[in-house]
Amino acid sequence: MNEFLQFLNEPLAQRSLWACGVIGFSNGFVSALVVLRRSSLQIGTLSCALLPGIALAILLFGLFQLSILIGAIMAGLMVGLGSLFVSRTSRMDHDTALSVLHTTAFALGYIILIRLGLQQKVDDWLFGNIMSMGNADLWISYMIGSIAVLCITILHRPLIITLFDSRAAAAMGIPARALNYGIFTLIILVLVSSLQAVGAFLTLGLLVAPAATMYLLTDRAEWLFWGGGLIGGLGAMTAFFLSYPLGWHLGATIIVVLGTLFLLAYLFSPRYGLLRRSRK
């Protein structure tokens, strides 16, 4: 216990705890878009598509934080929008096109990074390492999260209408297509901001589980955003306090905690819990 208290006094631990709160809240807030859009699996494939952008950025410009950030964003946008273009210009459906493009890009990115001798970095990008986040990484996550929360809050009503019925939104004069592309871009940015924290393989859980848990607790769509943010932030911070004494990987512990909260809501939700439905 004394060892853990000493660890909490270190700047590394305090920065990591702050990162858990910031990244958990921003991901949880944006997770409402993923749940309402019903695009969880698509976002999961896009999270792995960030790796080739990182690989090409390092190959062309070197191992710099800015090049990694821009490379990951460009890769996510190119694979996501490219799959949409392929589906609209061929007989291929969107999910199939996205699967082919993202697996090909992921394999190419992995080969490049291994050839560059960055095996340890690959592990961090795939599974996350919050402890290695510097001040610049934390500020990038904070800025992206703030922009995402601010944009969603300002455009809350047209976003909700577009997510539920894009045709009705267009009839009301809402630029539904532009909003859909904006939603997609925000999700990609938040994915990139959490890449180093939980990695490409685990970030889907952080970007889906908080709002999915709230979805079992309420019928009000607007509560999914702030409720998801609180669940994401508090869940990630709880995982921080659990991971060190248990000796668990912090990124994986965050997903386990959020998954446990989802399971509890699934079983005991006063509205839609399994036990309540069984009693009825």
In percent, the amount of the chain with pLDDT more than 70 equals 90
Q: What is the mean pLDDT of residues 125-142?
A: 76
Asked whether 78 and 96 are in contact (CB, 8 A), the reply is: no
pTM: 0.83
Residue 241 has pLDDT above 70, yes or no: yes
Q: Higher-confidence residue: 215 or 8?
A: 215
Of 199-203, 212-216, 250-254, give the lowest mean pLDDT range. Answer: 199-203
Asked whether 122 and 110 are in contact (CB, 8 A), the reply is: yes
* Closest by Cα among 6, 7, 11, 33 to 214: 33
- Give the span between the Cα atoms of 266 and 115, in whole angstroms: 45
Residue 251 has pLDDT above 90, yes or no: no
- Give the span between the Cα atoms of 120 and 111, in whole angstroms: 14
Q: What is the pLDDT of residue 63?
A: 66
- Give the span between the Cα atoms of 242 and 260, in whole angstroms: 13
Q: What is the mean pLDDT of residues 156-180?
A: 81
Where residue 25 falls among pLDDT bands split at 50, 70, 90? very high
The residue whose two tokens read 């490409």 is 200
